[in-house]
Amino acid sequence: MAMSVTEEVGRQISAIKFGILSPSDIRKMSVVEIETADTYDEDGVPIPGGLMDGRLGTLEPRQRCRTCGNTAATCPGHFGHIELAVPVVHVGFAKIIHELLTVTCRDCGRILLPDEKIQEFKEQMEAYRESSGEIPKTFFEHVKREAKKNPDCPHCGRPQYPIQYLKPTTFQESLETGGSITLEAAQIRTRLERIPDEDLRLLGYDPTSARPEWMVLQVLPVPPVYVRPSITLESGIRSEDDLTHKLVDIVRINQRLRECIESGAPTLIKEELSELLQYHVTTYLDNETSGIPPSRHRSGRALKTLSQRLKGKEGRFRMNLSGKRVDFSARTVISPDPNLNVDEVGVPIEVAKKLTIPEKVTAWNLEEMKELVKNGPENYPGAVYVIRPDGRRVRLEFVAERQKIAEDLKPGFIVERHLKDGDIAIFNRQPSLHRMSIIAHRVRVLPFKTFRLHLAVCLPYNADFDGDEMNLHIPQTEEAQAEARLLMQVQNQIVSPRYGAPIIGATRDFLTASYLLTRNDTFLTKSEVGRLLAEMDYDGEIPPPIRSHPEPLWSGKQIFSLLLPKDFNFIGKASICKHRHTTLDEECPVDGIVEVRDGVLRRGIIDRNSIGAERPDSLYHRIVKEYGSAFAQDFLNKLCRILNSFINMRGFSYAIDELEIPKEAEEKIGAILEEAEGSTRRLIEAYRLGALQRVPGKSLEESLDLHIMNELSKARERCDRIAESCFGMDNQGAIMTRVGARGTALNIGHMTACLGQQHVRGSRIPLGYRGRTLSHFDWGDQSPSARGFIKSSFHKGLSLTEFFFHAMGGREGLVDTAVRTQQSGYMQRRLIHALGFLKVEYDGTVRDTDGNIVQFKYGEDGVDPAKSDHGKAVNVQRLVDRIKGRGTRGKPITPESLEEELKAFEDRLPPLLIEELRSTILSAQLSSSAAKAVIDKAVEEYEIAQVEPGEASGIVAAQSIGEPGTQMTLRVFHFAGVREMDVTIGLPRLIEIVDARRRPSRPIMTIRLDEEHRKDREKALRIAQDMVHTKVKDLMKTAQYSVNLEENSVWVELDEEAMKARGITYEQLMEAIQIPRTSVSIEGGILKIKSQDIMEEGGLRKLGTRVVNCYVKGIPGINRTQVVWEDGEDYKGWFIQTDGSNLAKVIQIPGVDPSKTYTNDLYEIQEVLGIEAARNAIIKEAKEVFEGTGGGMDVDIRHIMLVADIMTQTGELRQIGRHGVSGEKTSTLAKAAFEITVPNIVKASASGDIDELKGVTENIIVGQDMPIGTGLVDIYMSPSGMMAPSDEKSEEIG
């Protein structure tokens, strides 16, 4: 039997070269010259020589192309051309033309550089090519700058005149006589023609693919009709494409101009027409050119011409090239189904009948396939197409006798059959922020119309069921299916590469159920146990019942234990346990210590901390790591099934009366609120009297707000605690929050105790222009209730004003979410474009597409976070415990022999791991054989955890940073810190970091002091005081100085308090004012500067301005300081925190410890401490964003490191975005797909760039496999192996 190889030999595009079409190229590729400005005649037939000429291709379905004879479906389309009556400047190149005109001679065309200089530059170019492989952009800039300097041509000696470029397409040359003339396009063209090829190369242009004179158009190509199809409306009216409209204009004006020229019309008319032609050609190319009005449609809509077709989100690049429409996909609403397996997706029958899989007919499935063909497309399990070995497709829908086709079926045929259970499908929910947004599931064909999925996979998809829709894709080839099965299935996605812990785990009601099941007072009867165990297909032995009277009863813990592997050991804490345990051996009042020994749950409640998602080092995480993800998936499946049926048996609901709290508690809450109101009254009183303590850096009003908010939030927290204490574990709401199933204690507090302060822009509800929040209050009322404090709870109900304030706060929340998604979405896009092309090479380095090294070892230890254990390759402690548990007794290994053992692995393991092994093994007192076992296992695990070559480490990093960005709150309030400095945190700060912004929005320094000064607060304060940048105006009591004409002096009233706060004495101040011919004195708190010259008022005012701007002391940039106590490991003592930053100056101050002084201004660090320090600073700052307030995000440091490394790769900080990393990419297509589409393409064609299609984006654009991950490898199979004699029943290759 002959095997037919249907796979086509892949044709690869290896590179794309950009260039400019020469007039002769255009004529050569043209099939027709367009001379008529019309499209169709009255009968709707294209006019020959018109814009719809049949030779350009045909739009009618059954007509044949007049050039190639193909029908519309197969004809590729053919270009025509227009001979322009006069040359016309191409707008895109206008800037380049101007540049060329200014750097070359107007007479001889040579570059305006003497021969020696040319030689010198040529050598430099050669040197660059040698040393860096490419010539930096700055070099050409430099050449051009040099050339511009010459007033005369060094070659022919003729004088040069400056040429002015008037946007968009006019060039004016100054004349000797003064004045200027406009250069005609024809003149420009002849000048450009004269530039020799050699000189162009020196300027960075490639004369073979882009002669400059081609930038002035003589011939205009006319695109085929398929590019600008005309559409027939229902009414029968033909409507032309925008491009056709524009071309009509061009042809019309062109014809008129030609006639004028031929008939010798006056120059004025000719000039006017040429200008009009220029306008039309310009708008045809780009209808958004600044300086000219856009060309409009009759209806007034601006036309969408060539540039507009490419640009932007809806443009060709982003809409059609970077993202493509696909077949074999479906989309519908999703709904939950706990009866499904985690790795399954429920597909409606209707969908299953439309989506097909091509299956080869073999001897083994022949009968089955026949059956499917007989059923046809209408009946479920059926088939839609049959493909014969000769390639003919039979559409079963149109076949009368399917029976006959079925009979004809033979091995070698392909049947495109309906989807059936067990097929592989790729499931996806947008926005696809990380790789777990696309997971492969096994198909389960089900009735009804929604896709169904298991609840455990909602978290990675971020899906809920309030109307969400999802997409399903069916991989068609065996190769694609195998890849999906092996790499994309649910079990392969359990561990998130973002933090190396499970992202798929039990959620919501599963956790509630798990708590209820594993509670000590849960007992199950025999029939209940039977039901639960049947649910998980348990066929092992049932443990003896825990009680036998009055009937045999089993505990929930026993049932849970049956799920665990027999050799599993674990000890940890449950979520419900808030108890502060000193050791895990201690008894817990709420049964919060989870202990599993030999696969039996001895004690402890199983809740979110044990089986939930996003919890590192949980029981579930241990199972994933130690028993593999396939086992873990099965475990989760069975667990969820048991829990589901258990909670169905028991029932669970949260009733409204469970929100009621006892009277005493209510009274207590009332008292607390009253007390808080009292203290706010006192604060307001103090504010009125002016006795309120001001918060540094804040106005008095802001300080009041801050103090009140602090007071009230403390009160609300106390209320919450009281409410919380009212509810025990018999309250369903409390169960849910404490177990981690849903909600927080805060939510319960809101429902039962008190809603608390509502915020707008981080502060209390503002008084507004009219001085009050609502007309229910007095003017200027500062009381809590008038400024948005809600005393009621949701259960009690809100008063009218409270309701309104709540709505105000709620609205802000909505706006915040909307703004945040946009911001983080854009950040994500930039990260993906900046990092997308990075991959791990076979030598473990991370490199870009040009082979430049970004990291020498991925993540510094080469460990893949997705294969790591919460970031670490090996969990040494766990490993030691496990091996110790096996009970190999013996004399503890001596440090010396351990050293010996470890030495052998010095170059295989990272130093940190060796160190950890050493200390853990020694403290565990392992025997020497056990120690050896531990080390061997550690090496094995470490090597397994290494990243695989080809891994798209850049994309993973970008996703791992971008995805949590969406979850971060935009604005975070912090009340605890009345004293703290305001720092930008959360998403805005993260964006600031990846933007590599020149100056952070809130520069802050942490200044550590030397031994002497850190111990003494007074000394620290003095340094801090001296640092504050002070001018005379900072010490003024009034806003203005005054002028005293009588005494001929300027008076400045001094603010004694400010003087004291900044530690400035009169003497210092007087010394600081050094203005010649003046005398300075201070009398009665007034600084007087007397001028020795008699001056008018104006002169004195000038002097006054000079005085107030006099520098007194401090460091520029430092606005405010604060002395804070730090009690850290490597620093103990006072340090200074500043608002404002100036690292270079601060580290020179005596008393400062420069080595521990720090700023959050990345550029300052780069300038003062260098690029490596900047790299560390990026890592440190980004880490703080994720870990700090408003963050709480778990992100592996390797991802942050990769971002820092690419930002500092060139030795200078580069932004993640078009002005940095993305803008410096070598690929033109990748740059065009990112942001500045048209200029990038124009630039590439002028310099004749070649895109080698090595990156990811480029290959997606041209529709090829990308050279990353599985796209990097090919499968080769030798035909001799395939044709081997079939008598051997060896493994068949599917």
**Binding site residues, another protein, CB under 8 A:** 131-133, 843, 845, 847, 850-857, 859-861, 863, 871, 910-915, 1147-1150, 1154-1158, 1165, 1167-1173, 1176-1177, 1180, 1197-1198, 1205, 1208-1212
* C-beta of residue 808 within 8 angstroms of C-beta of residue 758: yes
The amino acid present at 355, given as its one-letter code, is L
Question: At closest approach, how far in Å is the CB of 849 from another protein?
Answer: 12
Question: At closest approach, how far in Å is the CB of 914 from another protein?
Answer: 8
617 phi-psi bin (left φ>0, alpha ψ -120 to 50, beta other): left
The C-alpha atoms of residue 1024 and residue 1013 are separated, in whole angstroms, by 11
Question: At closest approach, how far in Å is the CB of 1025 from another protein?
Answer: 15
Residue whose CB is less far from another protein, 849 or 1049: 849
* C-beta of residue 957 within 8 angstroms of C-beta of residue 835: yes
Question: At closest approach, how far in Å is the CB of 1170 from another protein?
Answer: 3
DSSP 1235: S
Strands 79-89 and 30-33: parallel
- Give the bridge partners for 333, in sequence order: 469
* C-beta of residue 1136 within 8 angstroms of C-beta of residue 1122: yes
Residue whose CB is less far from another protein, 25 or 860: 860
Question: At closest approach, how far in Å is the CB of 948 from another protein?
Answer: 18
* C-beta of residue 170 within 8 angstroms of C-beta of residue 291: no
Residue whose CB is less far from another protein, 575 or 1209: 1209
Question: At closest approach, how far in Å is the CB of 933 from another protein?
Answer: 23
DSSP 863: B
The C-alpha atoms of residue 331 and residue 329 are separated, in whole angstroms, by 7
Counting Cβ atoms within 10 Å, is residue 813 exposed (0-12), middle (13-18) or buried (19+)?
Answer: exposed
Question: At closest approach, how far in Å is the CB of 965 from another protein?
Answer: 22
Residue whose CB is less far from another protein, 486 or 853: 853
The C-alpha atoms of residue 422 and residue 441 are separated, in whole angstroms, by 9
Handedness of CA 293, 299, 302, 308 (dihedral sign): negative
Strands 1030-1031 and 1111-1113: antiparallel
The phi and psi torsions of 926 (rounded to 5 degrees) equal -75, 150
Residue whose CB is less far from another protein, 300 or 911: 911
Question: At closest approach, how far in Å is the CB of 695 from another protein?
Answer: 31
Residue whose CB is less far from another protein, 1118 or 1177: 1177
Question: At closest approach, how far in Å is the CB of 578 from another protein?
Answer: 30
Question: At closest approach, how far in Å is the CB of 908 from another protein?
Answer: 12
Kindly state the helix (H) or strand (E) to which residue 987 belongs, with its residue range. Answer: helix 986-995
Taking the CA atoms of residue 602, residue 603, residue 607 and residue 613 in that order, the dihedral angle to the nearest 10 degrees is -50
Query: Helices (H) and strands (E) in the chain — how many of each?
Result: 43, 42
Residue whose CB is less far from another protein, 642 or 1024: 1024
Residue whose CB is less far from another protein, 13 or 912: 912
Tokens at 718, concatenated: 């106390």
Question: At closest approach, how far in Å is the CB of 1263 from another protein?
Answer: 29
Question: At closest approach, how far in Å is the CB of 946 from another protein?
Answer: 12
The C-alpha atoms of residue 1043 and residue 1103 are separated, in whole angstroms, by 9
Residue whose CB is less far from another protein, 914 or 1108: 914
Residue whose CB is less far from another protein, 1207 or 1253: 1207
Residue whose CB is less far from another protein, 109 or 862: 862
Residue whose CB is less far from another protein, 139 or 465: 139
CB atoms within 10 A of CB 1056: 10
Closest C-alpha among 1165, 1164, 1134, 1168 to residue 1152: 1134
Question: At closest approach, how far in Å is the CB of 555 from another protein?
Answer: 43
Question: At closest approach, how far in Å is the CB of 1173 from another protein?
Answer: 4
Question: At closest approach, how far in Å is the CB of 1190 from another protein?
Answer: 23
Residue whose CB is less far from another protein, 664 or 1212: 1212
Q: For the chain, percent helix, then strand, then coil, each to nearest 5?
A: 45, 15, 40
- Indicate the SS3 state at residue 841: coil
Closest C-alpha among 693, 507, 481, 732 to residue 611: 507
Question: At closest approach, how far in Å is the CB of 1177 from another protein?
Answer: 6
* C-beta of residue 1245 within 8 angstroms of C-beta of residue 19: yes
Question: At closest approach, how far in Å is the CB of 1096 from another protein?
Answer: 40
- Give the bridge partners for 847, in sequence order: 839, 853
Angle (nearest 5°) at CA 469 between 467 and 471: 170
The C-alpha atoms of residue 92 and residue 281 are separated, in whole angstroms, by 11
Residue whose CB is less far from another protein, 38 or 860: 860
Residue whose CB is less far from another protein, 127 or 807: 127
- What is the DSSP secondary-structure string of 712-735? HHHHHHHHHHHHHHH--TTSHHHH
Question: At closest approach, how far in Å is the CB of 616 from another protein?
Answer: 16
Residue whose CB is less far from another protein, 464 or 843: 843
Residue whose CB is less far from another protein, 496 or 1240: 496
Residue 350 CA, distance from chain mean position: 36
Q: How far is CA 205 from CA 75, 114, 127, 145, 878, in A?
A: 35, 19, 18, 16, 63
- Indicate the SS3 state at residue 659: helix
* C-beta of residue 500 within 8 angstroms of C-beta of residue 358: no
Residue whose CB is less far from another protein, 726 or 1204: 1204
* C-beta of residue 204 within 8 angstroms of C-beta of residue 122: no
Closest C-alpha among 437, 436, 466 to residue 450: 466
The phi and psi torsions of 584 (rounded to 5 degrees) equal -80, -5
- What is the DSSP secondary-structure string of 367-407? HHHHHHHHHTTTSSS-EEEEE-TTS-EEEGGG-S-HHHHHH
